[in-house]
Amino acid sequence: MESKRKLYIETYGCQMNFSDTQIVGSIMTDHNFESTENIADADLIFVNTCSIRDNAEQRVRARLQEFKRYKKIKPGLIIGVLGCMAERLKSQLIEEEKMVDIIVGPDAYRDLPRLLSVAETGQKAINVILSADETYADINPVRLDSNGVSAFISIMRGCENFCSYCVVPFTRGKERSRDTGTIVNEAKDLFSNGYREVTLLGQNVNSYRSEDGVGFAGLMEMVAKISPQLRVRFATSHPKDLSDELLQTMAAYPNICRSIHLPVQSGSDRILKLMNRKYDTKWYLDRIESIRSYLPDCAISTDIICGFCTETDQDQKDTLALMRRVSYDYAFMFKYSERPGTTAEKKYNDDVPESVKSERLKEIIDLQQELSYKSNLKDIGKIFEVLVEGFSKKSGKELSGRNSQNKVVVFPRHEFKPGDYVKVKITSCTTATLKGEVAING
């Protein structure tokens, strides 16, 4: 039997990229490759990339330079760049990064075996054609780097919101949803194989609609009904599309996790309009009120960009005020990074000095640290059902998992193992972690 060749994949960026990496792993497994965690053993190296921020692209560029030494040791080694950065830069990468052999966009992964054959003849191989219908629905992803407890399921691809700062609509194309049956079957298979939590992924999951008319709330209900022992999460919601129907569905099923990621980006209506977010703060706060009404115990997280074009001190104050009003449980916070080809790059000046961006980001991070700590303090004394994911990062005597609110909980090991549900009473906290003792084994 022909021995399998070794594939090494590094993934950068969002959860969608990790999901895509698993699809790539499946495709290459079907073509006589097996994954390795040792880059020195690799016959094929893929880097799955992100273009949302310049920093992410620079990290990939630096990593590619490090790969040169592996190619010197093993001249037949093939190096490929996958994903959004490949789509955005295309042939520019081939010209500037001489060690790169393959460039593949997010909709062309099925073509990887053919492209590899081309690269093995010494030619450069590129396919960055965007598709109007590719969803990879028939591919069973290889669960690379999985804890065996939690898994991602990609339910749709692409985005049509065209936020002025964002490259995603240009690198991932139009929205298209997977067939409902394939999603439900994938979730069933995961549950039968021991997984106890699935996260439904999409650039904007609220826009999901199958060809037979099933919307996102209906899909969530179908997945939740697989088993009360299967937790269901989702990411990411766009505020303009977060419906009361979805909140009602979440309230009806305890195994749909009480956690919603609702990116606000800015607390200034003027900046939101420039960003083309298609809502204002009044609309956003109405959605927050609905979440609190239907799901009083729901954690709310967000994304915030500071230093967007023309942002003033007052715009920053508006963002801080909205953060205090919502009192987010946690947040992902960034400085604005101008991306080539976006509406913002074409129409607006990136005129906020870097030093001011840094000062504003620090203000936002400091406030969120305060809000996160206050949120966690409120949990002391409460009992949560925690899904065990593995050992604590700090001690083999402690286990770590998450509650329904997506907060990390650390507690003594006892006899529990990954995949178990454990009742934990919270006794203390940090800004990022809840700590507790086993109360009642669920």
Q: Which CATH number do you get for residue 15?
A: 3.40.50.12160
Q: Do 80 and 22 fall within a single domain?
A: yes
Q: Is the peptide bond before 342 cis (omega within 30 degrees of 0)?
A: no
> How far is Cα 299 from Cα 261, in angstroms, rounded to an integer?
8
3-state secondary structure 23-65: HHHHHHHCCCEEECCCHHHCCEEEEEECCCCHHHHHHHHHHHH
| Residue 393 near residue 407, CB atoms below 8 Å | no
Q: Indicate whether 107 belongs to any domain.
A: yes
One domain, residues 374 and 392: no
* Statement to judge: residues 251 and 329 lie in one domain: no
Q: Residue 12: its pLDDT value, please? A: 86
Q: Are residues 40 and 114 in the same domain?
A: yes
| Per-residue pLDDT band at 2 (split at 50, 70, 90) | low
Residues 70 and 107 in one domain: yes
Q: Residue 33 has what DSSP assignment?
A: E
pLDDT tier, 145 (very low <50, low <70, confident <90, very high otherwise): low
| DSSP annotation of 275 | T
What integer is the mean pLDDT of 253-279? 98
Phi-psi region of 47 (alpha: psi -120 to 50; beta: other; left: phi over 0): beta
Q: Which helix (H) or strand (E) is 293 found in, with range?
A: helix 281-294
Is the model's pLDDT at 441 over the cut of 60?
no
E strand or H helix at 354, and its extent? helix 354-377
Which amino acid, one-letter code, is at 51?
S
Indicate the pLDDT class of residue 288, thresholds 50, 70 and 90.
very high
For 158-172, the pLDDT digits (tens) are 999 999 999 988 888
Q: What share of the chain has pLDDT > 70, as a percent?
A: 98
Give me the numbers of helices (H) and strands (E) for the chain, helices first please.
14, 19
Q: Which of 388, 383, 430, 431 is nearest to 413 (CA)?
A: 388
* 305 and 237 in a common domain: no
How distant, in Å, are the alpha carbons of 31, 37, 39, 112 from that of 6? Answer: 11, 9, 9, 15
Same domain membership, residue 115 and residue 166: no
Give domain status of residue 284, yes or no. Answer: no
400 & 366 share domain: no
Question: How, if at all, do strands 299-306 and 197-201 pair?
Answer: unpaired
Are 156 and 176 in contact, with CB atoms under 8 Å apart?
yes
**pLDDT value for 137:** 83
d(CA 91, CA 97): 10
Q: Kindly give, in sequence order, each residue whose CB lies less than 8 Å from that of residue 236, ignoring residues fewer than 6 positions away.
A: 202, 203, 204, 205, 261, 263
Asked if residue 193 and residue 167 are part of one domain, the reply reads yes
Q: Is 442's pLDDT higher than 50? A: no
Domain ranges, residue 312: 290-378
Return the pLDDT at 135.
83
Specify the amino acid at residue 264: V
Per the CB < 8 A criterion, the answer to whether 12 and 47 are in contact is yes
Coil/strand/helix, residue 334:
strand
Helix axes 112-119, 15-29, angle to 10 degrees: 70
Regarding whether 51 and 121 lie in a shared domain, the answer is yes
E strand or H helix at 86: helix 84-89
Q: Higher-confidence residue: 205 or 393?
A: 205
Q: Where are the beta strands (DSSP E) in 111-179?
A: 125-127, 150-154, 156-157, 176-177
The total number of structural domains in the chain stands at 4
428 and 337 co-located in one domain = no
Residue 164 belongs to a domain with what CATH number? 3.30.750.210
Q: Indicate whether 154 belongs to any domain.
A: yes
The single-letter DSSP state of residue 431 is: S
Question: Does residue 137 form part of some domain?
Answer: no
Closest listed residue to residue 158, CA positions, set 150, 166, 146: 166
**Phi (first) and psi of residue 435, to 5 degrees:** -120, 145
Question: Domain containing 388 — which CATH number?
Answer: 2.40.50.140
Q: Which residues contact 389 (CB under 8 A, 6 or more apart)?
A: 147, 149, 150, 400, 401, 402, 418
Compute the distance between CA of residue 178 and CA of residue 155 in angstroms, rounded to an integer: 5
Q: Which of 87-96, 361-370, 372-381 has the lowest mean pLDDT?
A: 87-96
Domain-embedded: residue 248: yes
- Domain-located, residue 269: no
The per-residue pLDDT for range 35-56, each reduced to its tens digit, is 999 999 999 999 998 877 778 7
Query: Which residue, of 339, 356, 378, is where some domain finishes?
Result: 378
Domain boundary among 127, 157, 182: 127
Give me the phi and psi of 48, to 5 degrees please: -90, 120
C-alpha span between 98 and 65 (Å, rounded): 10
Over range 285-307, report the average pLDDT.
98
Where do we find the tokens 């949120």? 375
Alpha-helical segments (H) within 215-263: 216-224, 244-252
d(CA 149, CA 126): 36
More confidently predicted of 236 and 141? 236
Backbone dihedral region for residue 145 (phi beyond 0: left; psi -120 to 50: alpha; all else: beta)? left
Backbone angles phi, psi at 55, to 5 degrees: -60, -40
Q: Tens of pLDDT along 323-358?
A: 999 999 999 999 999 998 999 999 999 999 999 999
Same-domain status, 349 and 413? no
Examine residue 52 and state whether it is found in any structural domain, yes or no. Answer: yes
Which of 351, 378, 405 corresponds to the end of one domain?
378
Q: What is the mean pLDDT of the chain?
A: 93
Three-class SS state of 138: coil
Query: Residue 109 domain-assigned?
Result: yes
Question: How much is the pLDDT for 104?
Answer: 92
Residue (of 166, 190, 182, 233) closest to 403 by Cα position? 233
